[in-house]
Structure 1
Amino acid sequence: MTHDREPPEWPTPEAGRYFERDLRQMTRINLHPIASPMPVGFFAVAIASFVVGSLQLGFLGDDAARAVALTILPAFILQLIVSVLAFGARDVLAATLMACFSGTWLASSLVLFLDPPSGARVLGVLNLVFAVFALMMASVAHRKRSMWLVLCVAVPRFAAAALANLTGAAWLGHLSGALGMLLAVVALYAAFALMLEDMRGEEVLPVGRRGPAHDAVEGNLAVQLRNLERQAGVRRTL
């Protein structure tokens, strides 16, 4: 009895090379969309920046540092959650920004509460490094205008805070506080605009998206799924 040989199920060597089947017809990609976590992240930035700015401007008194530390501690938790969700949504910019904001609020809270020796100078170095980080993030986040605008205010705010911590100059502390208030306003607007957009499924307040960020909201499904095979979590390696 003779029968035709079935085609091999796995790649077979041929002339020193391996040939794989075309798996595109057998591939299925399941998308699990989640609500945008960014409104929560920006609201946390706004609240923490306003409270710290109030302390720097002297609105809360000289003995309010430990209370402020406890007040901004929840921002660390909220932005850490936002970062995890943003990584799940494959938004590396948002996830990285929120994670670093989260760590900065935690460090600031611990230094303000515990008041360790040389804590102000160490916090100054942290703020300086964060300002450099925010500047680098702003250089690649220009298509996400809401994030870009928040970063553009965060850079001088954290730079002024760093100089105030390192030099002890009162006027730099007041400048940092004023910029912190501005950062709170900008982050509050970004959070509210993104929340309205997510609720209504369209842009309500202008956020100035461009490029892929604009296509994610305004483009059809075919545009949004373009080059999906190259996205993180789909391609073989990162």
Structure 2
Amino acid sequence: MSPSPQPSPKQTEPAEPAGRHFEPDLRPMTRINLRPIASPMPVGFFAVAIASVIVGSMQLGFFGDDAHRAVALTILPAFVLQLIVSILAFGARDVLAASLMACFSGTWLASSLVLALAPPSGSEVLGVLNLVFAIFALLMATVAHRKRAMWIVLCVAVPRFAVGALFNLSGVTVAGYLSGALGLLLGCVAMYAAFALMLEDMRGEEVLPIGRKGPARTAVEGDLAVQLRDIERQAGVRRTL
């Protein structure tokens, strides 16, 4: 009698630990769609320039004593424009530009309302707001040094809003004149930054010097592979902010 065949041993897969679930590797199936948009920063800096020149001219006495409401209505569009710029900058994944434009937008809105309505203690409250904004701009300047156009605007905005806060809180006439002069300087710097960035977008290269460094220069001169590096870690792609 021939021996009966023995059953072949079955290959068993290692059991998964209880309570753990392994997902398949989804990287080959993942696609990230980017929607290219035009840079909104020229509009944002133009709005900063216009509002700064109007407010600075009022503080220097270029308008009459009853021009507060007219100034308020004139700088109100800066709030709308910079709010739109902020939304677009968030969509372009530029958190520095988006945060700066959003805070500028809120500051112009508050200034416009206080100038138009003249509420009790409005000047003191506006002084505290300007002081907080100056501190925020100083903090942003410490991390925006590679984006030279934004960094230079911030370097002028810090003393302008700090001196403006001093004028609002103390009422010293000299502080008002100095704040107005710094406002005109901020307007000139923001106008230059807006024009330089607009020319850069139109020509596809730097025309007027704005001093881009590091990642800011790579963002303009680097190829597509450099632009997509570490994109899985950016906000809107990763799971948590």
Unaligned runs of 5+ in 1: 1-12
- Counterpart-to-counterpart distance in 2, 1:69 and 1:131: 21
Report whether the alignment pairs 1:87 with 2:95. Answer: no
Aligned equivalent of 1:201, options 201, 204, 224: 204
Work out whether 1:24 is the aligned partner of 2:27: yes
Query: Normalized against structure 1, the TM-score is what?
Result: 0.93
1:19 alignment partner, SS class = coil
Report 1:96-111 matches (<5 A). 96-111=99-114
Q: Which residue of 1 aligns with 2:119?
A: 116
How many angstroms does 1:166 deviate by? 0.5
What are the Cα deviations for residues 99-129 of structure 1, in whole angstroms up to 9, with x where unaligned? 0000000000011111111111111111011
1:1-238 correspondence to structure 2 within 5 Å = 14-16=16-18, 17-238=20-241
Q: Which runs of 4+ in 1 moved over 6 A?
A: none
Superposition deviation, residue 207 in structure 1: 1.1
Counterpart amino acid of 1:206?
A: P
Read off the aligned partner of 1:58 and give its amino acid letter. G
SS in 1 for 2:21: strand
State the secondary structure of the residue aligned to 1:130: helix
Deviations 1:119-150 (A, max 9, x none): 11111111011100100111111111100100
Equivalence for 2:3: none
Q: What is the identity percentage for the equivalent residue pairs of Structure 1 and Structure 2? A: 81
Q: Which amino acid aligns with 1:40?
A: V
Structure 2's unaligned 5+ residue stretches are 1-14
CA distance in 2, matches of 1:40, 1:125: 27
Tell me by how many angstroms 1:213 deviates.
1.3
Alignment RMSD (CA, Å):
0.9
Deviates more, 1:114-123 or 1:42-51: 114-123
The residue type paired with residue 191 of structure 2 is: L
- How far apart, CA to CA, are the structure 1 residues paired with 2:25 and 2:91? 29
Q: Partner residue of 1:7?
A: none
CA distance in 1, matches of 2:67, 2:17: 76
The SS at the match of 2:61 is coil
Q: 1:18 Cα deviation (Å)?
A: 2.2
Supply the distance in 2 between the matched residues of 1:48 and 1:170 (Cα, whole angstroms): 21
Kindly provide the amino acid, as one letter, of the partner of residue 53 in structure 1.
Answer: G
Amino acid in the other structure paired with 1:115? A
Counterpart secondary structure, 1:14: coil
